[in-house]
A and B are shown apart, each in its own frame.
Chain A
Amino acid sequence: DAKTTQPNSMESNEEEPVHLPCNHSTISGTDYIHWYRQLPSQGPEYVIHGLTSNVNNRMASLAIAEDRKSSTLILHRATLRDAAVYYCILGTGNQFYFGTGTSLTVIP
């Protein structure tokens, strides 16, 4: 159901950039790519989303491959508060399929 593949875990040093990859080889032309994160004991939190072009917001950047079969979430300077599970989700129908996500550990 998830339709996306992400590494189970990644580590980053504090204040360094983090690149979180996601593969979505079965993406259709109208699927948006969404990224959410979930801190411990909290609800999922929106990070960023896009369709074809790269996107930037105050939290992160989203780089989408030209064939749209993969994308990368970029946190420009990881902080301890960025430690969370990051989910790459394809918007399909009126629901989200969450995979297991990438657990990001930020090392001080």
Chain B
Amino acid sequence: EPEVTQTPSHQVTQMGQEVILRCVPISNHLYFYWYRQILGQKVEFLVSFYNNEISEKSEIFDDQFSVERPDGSNFTLKIRSTKLEDSAMYFCASSAYRGDTDTQYFGPGTRLTVL
């Protein structure tokens, strides 16, 4: 069964450093998403991406964040200058159709620890 994969599984970085989290969505999917979950808290939407552009973003997704689909398979989330409060699990998801009507398939997540 196709699945969303994410790398790395755990990323440790120093405050102020840039990090790139990588995701490989399911191959025939057209919509891509990033969510995050701070330890012990709920899953929060960050951004959705379709047709090579951001379609929606939350208040969390400020200028420090960016997303890119650099080739036909990868979908990345970049945090330019990490803060302590960016420590969280980051989940990538993809869907074949619009996310509100279709199933979003989530990856296993990347645990980001900012020291």
Contact = CB atoms under 8 A, between A and B. Distances in A.
A87 B35 CA distance: 15
A83 to B, nearest CB: 17
B91 A43 contact: yes
A98 B42 contact: yes
Contacts, number: 62
A101 B92 CA distance: 20
Contacts of A49: 103
Interface stretch (B65-73, B75-83, B106-114): B106-114
A45 interface: yes
Contact of B45 (A46, A96, A100, A101): A96
Contacts of B100: 31-32, 91-96
Contact of B31 (A31, A38, A87, A94): A94
A82 to B, nearest CB: 18
Given A95-B48, A95-B99, A101-B42, A43 B108 contact: yes
A94 B99 contact: yes
Interface residues on B, range: 20 to 34
Contacts of B99: 91, 94-96
Nearest to A47: B103
A94 B106 contact: no
Interface in A1-60: 2, 31-32, 34, 36, 38, 42-46, 49
Contacts of A2: 42
Contacts of B4: 43
Interface in B18-76: 31, 33, 35, 42-45, 48, 50, 55-56, 58
16 contacts: A36-B106, A38-B43, A42-B108, A42-B109, A43-B91, A46-B103, A87-B43, A91-B100, A91-B101, A94-B31, A94-B50, A94-B99, A95-B33, A96-B43, A96-B99, A98-B42
